[in-house]
Amino acid sequence: MLSIFPWRRRATLYLHFPCLDGVISGVLATLYLEKTCGWKFKTFQPVNYHQQKEWPDTRLPRHSAVVDFLYHPQAEFWADHHETSFLTDQLRADFEARKDKSRSKDESRFKDASRFYDKQSGSCASLLWREIGGTLGPDPRLEEMVRWAEKIDSAAYDSVDEAFSSSHPALVLSRSLATDADQRYCEFLLTELRHASLEEVIRTDEVQKRFLRTQELNTLGLERVRQSIRLEGCVAVFEASSQGVMMNRYSPYYFYPNARYSIGITHSKHSTKITAMRNPWLNFESFHLGEFMRKFGGGGHQRVGSVVLPAERSEEAGNIRQELLQNLNPVDSEKKNG
């Protein structure tokens, strides 16, 4: 049978990694673009937020797709759901102009690569599934991936116990991303998940060795959090070294399930990471944590934000924590200043 494409376009995928939502989004995007646009992906390039300073000036190869990451005007295909997707007003304007131009065309949007953005979406994978799933589905295998990518990325766990459990293959796969998640592992997951189920992929040695190591390090990390965590107003706060252990971002709620927010400062050999999160099991309007972290070079969503400081800026972590506490405990701050 002859291909509907007389030639294949060599393409590059940029995806947020290590992140399950980024991986599943990458699977959906590559399957769609190969099927409808004749792209052939030769390169999978993981990206993360420590690269955002140089990202707008990064020159992308022709036929590039970017998923679950910051907007780039050279990407022929782009999809994201983060509220901090546009680093500048000019980049946002570029996206809006291209979107309006695309809408004015008579031909179907599925004939060409496109750009999708929805800050209300719980995950990039679910956004993509709504937009391009009709071309790929119905496919129970992909639908399961999308459902769990949304649950994990939006922290929609039923309980803090589920957040620590390995009761579903997606949870195992997500845990595995915390250990040795290099470019080779990124390429392995994208290649396997394009045709195999979550259950099949987690049985591989590549996943199991990382998952088991993560479980071991998480147990050690939970003990390290226990030794340093305290409650400041409505915020569970801890600061600890992450060397030799792993810190689960839900750890504060394991010890303080009724805390409204958490702030964790973790120190490694070369950097300091600050992560803030709204308690996903309490229902209230969150302070915009992603926008707050963006001021310092980080980002995220309304309910979770983080920033990674290089070693030479590690002393800024304490000031960031105090400013954040003042925003998260406004009543307590007013009492102290009164």
Residues in the chain: 338
CA end-to-end span of the chain: 79
Q: What are the tokens at 58?
A: 């990064």
* SS3 track for 32-58: HHHHHCCEEEEEEEEECHHHCCCHHHC
Which residue type is seen at 290? G
C-alpha to C-alpha distance for 77 and 68, rounded to whole angstroms? 11
Q: Which residues are 65's β-sheet partners?
A: 13, 77
C-alpha to C-alpha distance for 15 and 36, rounded to whole angstroms? 20
Whole-structure pTM value: 0.81
Which residue type is seen at 143? E
Beta-strand relationship, 115-117 and 77-80 = parallel
pLDDT (tens, 9 = 90+) of the chain, 338 residues, equals 334 454 568 999 999 999 999 999 999 999 999 999 999 999 999 999 889 889 999 999 999 999 999 999 999 999 999 988 999 999 999 999 987 665 545 444 434 469 999 999 999 999 999 999 999 989 999 999 999 999 999 888 999 999 899 999 999 999 999 999 999 999 999 999 999 999 999 999 999 999 999 999 999 999 999 999 999 999 999 999 988 998 888 999 999 999 999 999 999 989 999 999 999 999 999 999 999 999 998 888 888 999 999 989 999 999 999 999 999 997 644 444 43
Sorted by where each starts, the structural domains of the chain and their CATH numbers stand as 9-203 (3.90.1640), 227-337 (3.10.310.30)
Residue with tokens 């031909």: 107
C-alpha to C-alpha distance for 20 and 110, rounded to whole angstroms? 25
Do 49 and 102 meet the contact criterion of CB atoms below 8 Å apart? no
Do 276 and 317 meet the contact criterion of CB atoms below 8 Å apart? no
Which residue type is seen at 4? I
Do 68 and 16 meet the contact criterion of CB atoms below 8 Å apart? yes
Do 238 and 231 meet the contact criterion of CB atoms below 8 Å apart? no
> For 108-204, where are the alpha helices, taking DSSP H only?
124-136, 140-153, 160-164, 169-176, 183-193, 198-202
Do 26 and 44 meet the contact criterion of CB atoms below 8 Å apart? yes
Helix (H) or strand (E) run with residue 306 in it: strand 304-310
Q: Which residues are 276's β-sheet partners?
A: 263, 305
